[in-house]
Amino acid sequence: MGIMTIDLSGQTAVVFGASRGIGEAVAKMLAEAGARVYVSSRSEKNCIKVMEEIVDAGYESVAISCDVSDIKQVDAVLARAEEETGRLDIVINNAGIDCVTPFLECSQEEMMRVVMTNEIGVNNGLQCAVNRMKKYGHGKVVSTSSFAGRRDLPHGLGFGHYGMCKAAVNYITQSAAFGGADYNINVNAVAPGIVLTKMWEDILDTAEKEGHNRDEAWKDYLKTYIPLARGAQTSEDIAYTMLFLCSKYADQITGQIIYVDGGASVA
C-alpha cells in the first residue's frame, strides 16, 4: 500500500488558538499538507505573524481574530472561510488559557474566565463546526484536551478548574461525535501531557519565586508526572497527532480522546 502520506490539497481548515504553541504548529502542518488555513486567536497581531510565516513558506493562509467565548464570533470565522473557499473541511479547537491557582483559592471570577474559554469556547467551536459541515457530508473536528482532564495533579499544582474544563472537553467531544456521525463528520480530541506552554512557564515562575531552581523544578515535574523517559512533549508532537486525525487515515476514528502524554494520564 505504500508509505502513508497526508495530502489535504484543496481543503479548508480553521484553527482557533493558532497564534502560538500547539495551534501554531498544527496550522503550519495543515498548510504544508496543502490546506488553506485560517489562523485565528484573540490577538490579531499574533495571527498575522503566523499567517505571514505560512505564506512566506509558500502556502495559503488567512488571519482573522476571534474570541471563542463568543459563539457569534466563532461562527463568523467559519462563515468567512466557507464564503471565500466554498467549503469547510477541518476545524481545530485549540484556544485555551491557563489557571494555576489552587482549587481552594480560586475565585469565582477566575474560574469563570477559564470556563468561558476552555469549556464554552470548545463547545462553541464544536457546535458551529458540526452544524456547518452537515451540508457537505464530511468533516474533521479536533479539540485540545489535557491529561489533567483525566486525573488531578497533587503537590500543590493548581489544575483543579483547568482540569475540570478539560474533562468537559472530553465529554462534549463524544457528544459532538454522536451528533456528527450521521453526516460522516469525525470529532476527536488530543490530550497533551506536559508541553512547555505559557501555563507551565507560569508554574515555573511560581516555583522560582518560592526559591526553587527553575531548571531543577522543571526536571522534577517531568520525573513526577511523565513515566516515559523521553520527558516533555513538544507542540509538534501534539500537532502531528492532530494532522493524522484530520487525514483520510483517521476516517474510522471518532469520539476518541488520544493521549499524547508520555503516560502521564495513567501514571
Catalytic residues: 162
Pick from 6, 21, 175, 1: nearest CA to 89: 6
Which cell numbers in the block locate residue 6? 497526508
Q: What angle is formed at CA 21 by the lines to CA 16 and CA 23, rounded to 5 degrees?
A: 25
Instruction: Give the number of other CB atoms < 10 A from CB of residue 134.
Output: 16
> For residue 20, what are the contacts with CB-CB under 8 A and spacing of at least 6?
41, 46, 50
Q: What is the largest CA-CA distance in the chain?
A: 57
Burial class (CB in 10 A: 0-12, 13-18, 19+), 179: middle
Q: In the chain, how many H helices and how many E strands? A: 9, 7
Grid cell for residue 2: 505504500
Asked if residue 63 lies in contact with residue 39, where contact means CB atoms within 8 angstroms, the answer is yes
